[in-house]
Amino acid sequence: MSNIPLKEILKEKEEMRMDYKKILTIQDISCVGQCSLTVALPILSACGIETAILPSAVLSTHTAGFKGYTFRDLTDDIPKIKDHWVSEGIKFSAIYTGYLGSEKQIEYICDIFAETLTDDGVKVVDPAMADNGKLYPGFDEAYVEAMKKLCAAADYVVPNITEACFLTGEEFKETYDREYIDALLNGLLKIGCKNVILTGVSYQEGKTGVVVLENGEYSYYEHEKLPNSCHGTGDIYASAFVGALVRGKDAYNAAKIAADYTVECIKATAKEDNHWYGAAFEPQLEKLINSLK
């Protein structure tokens, strides 16, 4: 039996009911592989948020390490789905975008922002297009230019350092200092980004972290840098950040919660034999839920 008074339990349930938000996340479905929508949907739902999805494409698996995967582009379906939502008066408290397949999709997303977000809704863009100094296969400078416009339309952007370099034109560096990070942040502000969550920022060996620039204020959350990495951790991080943000956490605390949760997922994956295709995030969801209380 719980020792919490019934009055407090009822009050907490009432607060959750009044704050029951509806979010839309737009990214691809990789049916197997623990990334994109198969990560975002369960994490956002675990955060207590009603989650709608808009798949940009459907793949049998993700593209990192699997061979012969299937791919179906859903670009032409996006405006039709949006038009139906508009006709039904469907609105979202937040919209969160991940991996998008083309400039045309980005153009459609801008329309979705304009027509399906509530007046006080929040737009979060993860410009999932690059890592380790390189663009993902299939992306080019035209895509980068389109992504700049989407980032400028967002309230929060969640790039890694590589993505920030492509968005700002700064040279990619593996070793850097605070001055270099400030140049990236200023470059993102110049293209119209309002608030920035810059991931994978490491100022010292054995440590990494996330820089938060919200309303012009800089803060940094540092945590241990693990020796192993996992596919899909960027999606895990962004989804947990959005979930915490929509649940009412400020950007710094949402970034901290997301970082701690992602670290736990990586640690759990290291214990699993042959789990090379993703991160074991599901067994750690209880820790994420508890961190939001």
Beta strands 92-97; 217-224: pairing state: unpaired
Confidence of residue 1 (pLDDT cuts 50, 70, 90): very low
Mean pLDDT of 71-92: 97
Q: What is the pLDDT of residues 5-34, one digit of tens each?
A: 665 655 555 554 557 899 999 999 999 999
Residue 213 backbone dihedrals phi, psi, to 5 degrees: -120, 100
The contacts found for 257-260 with CB under 8 angstroms, 24 or more apart, are: 257/288, 257/291, 257/292, 258/210, 259/209, 259/210, 259/221, 259/223, 260/223, 260/287, 260/291
Q: How far apart are CA 22 and CA 94, in angstroms?
A: 7
Of 237, 239, 204, nearest to 222 (Cα)?
A: 204
Lowest-confidence pick of 40-44, 212-216, 268-272:
268-272
pTM exceeding 0.85: yes
CATH fit for domain 18-276, picks 3.40.50.2020, 3.10.580.10, 1.10.2020.10, 3.40.1190.20: 3.40.1190.20
Mean pLDDT of 241-246: 98
Looking at 11-15, 67-71, 161-165, which range is the least confident one? 11-15
Compute the average pLDDT of residues 171-177.
96
Q: Per residue in 213-232, pLDDT tens? A: 999 999 999 998 988 888 88
Domain boundaries, the chain: 18-276
